[in-house]
């Protein structure tokens, strides 16, 4: 029995790895071609290759559920085409035993995915985005070469051209507003502070090459400083999450930053949605694998391998689009963000169990 379990696990695992290489490879090529449009200034082909290479683990993490689904269909499908599953069933091997053998390598891949999402992807994404922003021109005020990053803290709105993970900011512009007596909102611009660079010094930021523009009614004047101290609650750890999208942050980082936004009175829905999607990703992979196994013993039992793979792609896309639709729906309709992840997982799991029960 151990040899049989090992054979099933090895077959499914190899099929999943092949699928992963194909999907990630194609996506990486298309992404690199798209990145060539951003070649400007010091950001050239070598930098684009470096940027794309650092984002490969991100693609592996994102495509893991779909790769496991298609790999399961391809691996078990090849065994079904060779009548191996028929022989196993005739020998008294239950569907539950086959399912358990398939889930073992999938559990390993789920664990690898968690490690990538929690530790590898966030770090590499910060490095990639910082390198790209610096190369495209980070020290210019309101540089249009990079997209820049915006943040708000109280009555201050900030923009950074580039944020390096080591505690270095480039092209900082701060818009400081003051509350008027007529309005409780911060609608009167007090001053604009621009600094070419800022270095973190344990509890504050040391700014360099500062230009301060003051606004007092109809009067506007500027002053320049070589250096200056900037006290803020933003630490390099908190600020580094600004340069990556919520889906590229770690689970712990998402929770901390969402709590920080709540403390600032800002909307944290996007970060909580990503938090729950990452927390439930192993469950989504498990549900899709169960669904894939049920297809092999049910509706896809006697079809061609190409049709099985095509079916896996369609199911994976439907699942992904369901998540994408439910995420904004949770904000609009006001239901808990966790439901946006739980609903498609539960639907896939229930459908898979019903199909397997019917085939048993």
Report the interhelical angle of 269-279 vs 281-297 (nearest 10°). Answer: 50
> How far apart are alpha carbons 259 and 244 in whole angstroms?
17
Asked which of 89-93, 152-156, 323-327, 331-335 is least confident by mean pLDDT, the reply is 331-335
Q: What is the pLDDT of residue 144?
A: 47
> Is pLDDT at 145 greater than 70 in this prediction?
no
> Is pLDDT at 244 greater than 60 in this prediction?
yes
Q: What percent of the chain has pLDDT over 70?
A: 91
Q: What is the pLDDT of residues 21-31, one digit of tens each?
A: 999 999 999 98
168 three-state secondary structure: strand
> Is pLDDT at 302 greater than 70 in this prediction?
no
> How far apart are alpha carbons 327 and 21 in whole angstroms?
28
Q: Of 106, 50, 117, which Cα lies nearest the Cα of 252?
A: 117
What number of H helices and E strands is found in the chain?
12, 6
CB 144 within 8 A of CB 159: no
Summarize the confidence of residues 101-122 as an average pLDDT: 91
Q: Which residues have CB under 8 Å from 37's CB, separation 6+?
A: none
Summarize the confidence of residues 124-151 as an average pLDDT: 69
Q: What is the pLDDT of residue 140?
A: 53
> How far apart are alpha carbons 343 and 322 in whole angstroms?
9
> How far apart are alpha carbons 192 and 6 in whole angstroms?
65
Q: What is the pLDDT of residues 146-167, one digit of tens each?
A: 467 788 887 888 888 878 877 7
The full set of domain ranges for the chain reads 2-135+280-359, 149-244
Q: What is the pLDDT of residue 11?
A: 93
C-alpha distance from residue 95 to each of 270, 305, 353, 357 (Å): 40, 20, 11, 9
Would you place residue 14 in the very low, low, confident or very high pLDDT band (cuts 50, 70, 90)? very high
Asked which of 76-85, 133-142, 350-359 is least confident by mean pLDDT, the reply is 133-142
Q: What is the pLDDT of residues 190-236, one digit of tens each?
A: 899 999 999 998 889 999 999 999 998 888 999 999 999 998 888 88
> How far apart are alpha carbons 161 and 138 in whole angstroms?
5
Dig out the tokens for 222 from the structure: 């500027």
């Amino acid at each position: 029995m151990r040899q049989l379990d090992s054979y099933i696990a090895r077959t499914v695992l190899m099929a999943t790895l092949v699928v992963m290489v194909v999907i990630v490879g194609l996506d990486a090529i298309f992404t690199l071609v798209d990145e060539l449009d951003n070649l400007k200034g010091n950001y050239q082909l070598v930098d684009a290759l470096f940027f794309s290479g650092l984002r490969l683990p991100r693609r592996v993490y994102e495509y893991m559920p779909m790769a496991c689904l298609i790999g399961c269909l391809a691996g078990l499908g090849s065994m079904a085409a060779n009548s191996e599953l028929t022989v196993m069933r005739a020998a008294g091997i239950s569907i539950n035993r086959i399912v358990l053998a398939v889930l073992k390598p999938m559990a390993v891949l789920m664990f690898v995915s968690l490690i990538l999402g929690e530790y590898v992807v966030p770090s590499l994404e910060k490095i990639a985005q910082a390198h790209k922003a610096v190369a495209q021109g980070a020290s210019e005020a309101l540089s249009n070469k990079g997209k820049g990053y915006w943040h708000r803290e109280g009555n201050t709105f900030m923009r950074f051209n580039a944020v390096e993970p080591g505690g270095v900011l480039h092209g900082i512009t701060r818009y400081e507003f003051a509350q008027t007596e007529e309005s409780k909102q911060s609608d009167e611009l007090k001053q604009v502070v621009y600094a070419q660079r800022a270095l973190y010094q344990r509890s504050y930021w040391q700014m360099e090459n500062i230009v301060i523009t003051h606004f007092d009614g109809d009067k506007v004047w500027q002053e320049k400083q070589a250096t200056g101290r900037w006290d803020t609650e933003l630490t390099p750890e908190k600020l580094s999450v600004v340069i990556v999208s919520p889906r590229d942050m770690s689970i712990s980082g998402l929770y901390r930053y969402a709590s920080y936004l709540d403390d600032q009175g800002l909307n944290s829905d996007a970060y909580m949605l990503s938090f729950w999607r990452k927390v439930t990703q192993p469950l989504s992979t498990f549900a899709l694998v169960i669904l894939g196994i049920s297809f092999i013993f049910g509706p896809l039992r006697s079809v061609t391998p190409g049709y099985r793979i095509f079916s896996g792609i369609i199911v994976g896309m439907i699942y992904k689009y369901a998540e994408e639709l439910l995420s904004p729906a949770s904000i609009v309709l006001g239901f808990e963000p966790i439901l946006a992840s739980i609903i498609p997982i539960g639907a896939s799991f229930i459908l898979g169990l019903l199909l397997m029960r019917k085939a048993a």
